[in-house]
Each structure stands twice: as structure tokens, then as C-alpha cells.
Amino acid sequence: MMRKKKTYAGNPVITSIYTADPSAHVWEDGRIYIYASHDMDPARGCDLMDRYHVYSSSDMANWQDEGEILRSEDVKWGRPEGGFMWAPDCAYREGKYYFYYPHPSDSKWNDSWKIGVAVSEYPCHGFRDLGYIDGLGGFGMIDPCIFVDEDEQVYMYYGGAAQCLGGRMKGDMLSLDSEMRPMEGLYDFHEAAWVLKYKELYYLMYSDNVQPCNNMRYAVSSSPLGPWKHKGIMLKPVGCETTHGSIAQFKGEWYLFYHNQKISGQGNLRSVCIDKLFFEESGDIRCVEQTGQGVMACDDSFTEIMAVDYDGEITENGCLFDHVDGGQGGRASLRFYYNNASGCLSKIYLKVNEKEEFLINLLADREEADITIDLKCGENRILLTRECGDAIVKSMDIVLLDGGEA
Ligand code: FUB
């Protein structure tokens, strides 16, 4: 069967699992990628966050889950209890993708933040952890943002607990080339720094400390390290306490990537959204309108994808797909087709070859849920167990992302 093409992305745009803190980038292959953190369901504050997923698109409306790229278990220097894989960023240089993530190195998590780096030759798989950046970290120091200027100079920004620091990085993408210095002129900085350049001006977007829900503000400067001039609010509260996002230009249009709690109603089970962003003639950013429809496909580049279909064996408590052909093994994009007439969010637990994977959301106003996982070569067993709600999964299709015929 063909996977259908969407005309509008819808908000939230990622619905099957909870995702937050989206960092969006357009890479050499002409696609746009979102590097998101993952709010593990059920949540315990933001403590259990783990398993970064990457999403990619050629048209802004149809997003492919590219699968998991890193989890706390892979971080040898990290806190023994794991979790706390918070807001990441990614940068490209000379054929390699560098993934930056904040993670504590000790059980006393908020005193021991470090900025870890993983590297790959690919934008969305194959990442290996390289350790952390010497000279960065400490109490509340989270949310790395990497900005590569037009002259190829690389800058690092990060911070939390009301402190934002910035500095130059070396071309190795792993070490600092200057002291990190306070970014001056920001009004009410909380966390979530994001830097970009538009025309001749640098923009630093960040979240403020307003309670119970933060705003997103921005400041401008003629230099990448400030001093900054505060300009105002560019995203009003999204409904949950945190606000965090990124800005990217894709095929001529500007977009804001952010998160809200629309699916769960819980501030620590968030979902990535996208809306259009506009610069005024003056260079000011117009306050972004948060829509339910989301952004429209920006062109016809997404062609319907041929997938292999499976009918599920519907059981009293879920659905079983046995003898699923994983081809030569590797990443597989699963799409579950379901009926959810209850009007409420349903959840199913996914197990692949007896390995616990995720709770998957089956939204009342949708009929499909996507997730990318690893399948082994040959036959696989995929079991869905009802966690809550009345949705019934009937069938599934699979696209093998790493090649290999199913
Ligand atoms: O997602 C965990 C933390 O919440 C991020 O690092 C912050 O920016 C806030 O979004």
C-alpha cells in the first residue's frame, strides 16, 4: 500500500511519542531535520527523559521518524542512573554531523551538567559518543546551541538558571577557542538559547522566567557574542511551563519549531509543533501565531511511499504481528492503522522481539501512528498491548529505511 501524503502538518506535528526541545536544521541533502528530546511516558518531572529521535522532511508537512540516535546508556561518562537527556542541538562540519546534548555526570544531577558530543557521517543515524566538552558545564548549565557563521567560525551558547554564556569553538567541534562569557543585554533570561543570523543581524531567542508559563523572547546584536538588545516576546506561552525551540529557513520560508502539552495536558509530556515565522521589514520578528492546522506542504517533493502491509491478529488486550520480515535488518518505519471512536487519547505499549520499546499515543482525531525502531534480519514479532483507552489497532505497514527488501 502507498503511504498517503499530508497537505498540512497539523499541530502537534509529532504525535506517536512525546517529543520536546526541537532543534531544526537544513542539511546538505536538502532535507530539514528536527533533533528532539523525548519525554518518556510516564514521566517523573523531566528526570526520565531519554532516547533522542530525529525527524526529517522534504516539504514541512510529511515528517519521517528516522529513529533513535542516542540514549543515556550509551554515555559512559554519564550519571549512573541515566535519564536527564535534555534539549540537544546538532551541527555540520566537513562531512560530519556533531550532536550536542546536556547530561549530568553525577547522581547530583543539577550540579554536574556537562555538554556531551556524539558524531556521525550521517544526519540521522550512526552516532557515536565522543565524551564531553572540557571547560563547559556546572550548576544548571544546559541547552547547548551551536551557531556556524558565514565565515565558518563556530560559536557555542548554553545556559540555564538565569545565566547565558557564549564563546568561540575550534574547528574540531569538540573544544573551546575562547572563554565562555556572559551574554549581556538579555532581559529575564531563563534557558533555551538559539542563535541565528538574518540579513546582517544576529538574533538570540530564549525563554524567560514568567510563571506559570514562560514566554519566548529575542534580542539582536551586530556581533555573534553581543552585547544584545532586547526586542520583546516572539512566542506567547504555549500552555506548559517550559518553552523551547528553534528557527529555520526552508525553501524560502521561515519557521518556528516549539513544543506544547496539547496531547497530554501535562507539562512534562510535550509535543513538537511548527508554525510560520515572519520577519517585518524592520527586521523585527512578528509574534508567532500558534495554529492547530500547522504549516502547509511547501512543495510537491514528497512522493507517496510504497510500504509492506500486515494484518494484525487482534487479541483481547491488543494486537500481534508475528513473522514480520525485517529484510536484512536495520531501521524500520512502522505505521499502525487504528480505530479510536472513544474520543479520548488511547495508548498502546510496543514490544519488539520481547524487547520493551515505547508507549505509543493513538489520538482520537487521527487514524495512524508512526514509530521507527530497529528490526533484526529475518522474522520479527511485534506486540502491542493496550495501556489505556479503547482504540483498536487493525493493521500495520513497514518501510525499511536502511535498504534491504522485506
Ligand atoms: O526538556 C528539558 C528541559 O526543559 C530543557 O532542557 C529546557 O530548555 C526545557 O525545555
pLDDT, one tens digit per residue, over 83-112 is: 999 999 999 999 999 999 999 999 999 999
Indicate which residues carry an active-site annotation. Answer: 21, 191
pLDDT on residue 1: 85
Q: Is 311 in the same domain as 270?
A: no
Tell me, yes or no, whether 203 lies in a domain.
yes
CA of 121 to the centre of ligand 1 (A): 27
264 in the same domain as 129:
yes
Which atom of ligand 1 is the closest one to the Cα of 20? 1
CATH of the domain at 25: 2.115.10.20
Each residue's pLDDT tens digit, 216-246:
999 999 999 999 999 999 999 999 999 999 9
Contact 259, 238 (CB under 8 A): yes
d(CA 122, CA 55): 13
- Is-contact 330 403, C-beta < 8 A? yes
Q: Residue 318: inside a domain, yes or no?
A: yes
The confidence score (pLDDT) of residue 356 equals 86
Q: What does the pLDDT read at residue 125? A: 97
Structure confidence at residue 58 (pLDDT): 98
Residue 196 has φ and ψ, to the nearest 5°, of -145, 170
Mutate to test the pocket of ligand 1, among 51, 242, 269, 271 (most ligand atoms within 8 A of CB): 242
Of 233, 257, 276, the residue at which a domain comes to its end is: 276
C-alpha–C-alpha distance, residues 169 and 151, integer Å: 13
Residue 404's pLDDT is 56
Are 27 and 124 members of one domain? yes
Cα-to-centroid distance, 303 and ligand 1 (Å):
35
Gap from CA of 37 to ligand 1 centroid (Å): 9
Q: Which residues line ligand 1 (CB under 6 A)?
A: 20-21, 37, 46, 86-87, 142-143, 191-192, 242, 244
Q: Kindly give the number of the ligand 1 atom that is closest to the alpha carbon of 102.
A: 6
Could you tell me the pTM of the whole model? 0.97
Separation of CA 353 and ligand 1 centre (Å): 32
Number of domains in the chain: 2
| Domain region containing 354 | 305-400
The reported pLDDT for the residue numbered 357 is 85
Residue bearing the CA closest to ligand 1, atom 8: 192
For residues 245 and 346, membership in a common domain is answered with no
Q: Which residues of the chain have pLDDT under 50?
A: 406
Whether the Cβ atoms of residue 64 and residue 56 lie closer than 8 Å to each other: yes
Candidates 23, 37, 217: which one to mutate for ligand 1, based on the most atoms within 8 Å of Cβ? 37
